[in-house]
Amino acid sequence: MSSGRRRSKGHKPKPVDKEFLELGRKHFAEGFPNPSREGCPNDDVLKLLAEKPAHVADDVQKHITSCSPCYRTYSKFLHKIKTARSH
């Protein structure tokens, strides 16, 4: 018999976890400035990564976690998708 607590499948982060998640998000969104945009993919590729992650090469996925401008663009596309799905 399970002693673990059951949670609803779509539960949102608790306030204390939000702090950790916010720290992490801020780290990737601001911690890797890349003013010369060296090695950055096109916005279309980032959009595709947000929409269909399996269709994009591994390098691009890795790039967004080491380039804050690309991370922010990817984040913008992700949130557009999320909003569209929720309506």
Partner 1 sequence: MRPRPLLLNAVDRLGRKIDPAVLSIAHEIGPRALAYARIPIGDPAEAINYLEEAAASVSAAIEQKRCSGTPEVRNVAAYLFRTFVRMVDEARRKKPVLEASSRENGNAQLCLSAQVRVETTVLLNEVMATCDRGSREVVVLRLEGFSWAEIGKHLSISTHAAEARFSKALEHARKTLKIPRRKGLGGLSSCLREGAGRKDTNLNR
Binding mask 43-82 toward partner 1 (x if CB under 8 A, else -) reads: ----------xx---x--xx-xxx--------x--xx--x
DSSP state of 55: G
Question: Is 27 a residue that touches partner 1 (CB under 8 A)?
Answer: yes
Q: From the CB of residue 8, how many other CB atoms can be counted at a distance below 10 Å?
A: 6
Question: Is 12 a residue that touches partner 1 (CB under 8 A)?
Answer: yes
Q: From the CB of residue 10, how many other CB atoms can be counted at a distance below 10 Å?
A: 5
Q: In angstroms, what is the minimal distance from the CB of 4 to partner 1?
A: 4
DSSP state of 66: S
Q: Which residue ranges make up the site for partner 1 (CB under 8 A)?
A: 2-5, 9-21, 23-25, 27-28, 31, 53-54, 58, 61-62, 64-66, 75, 78-79, 82, 85
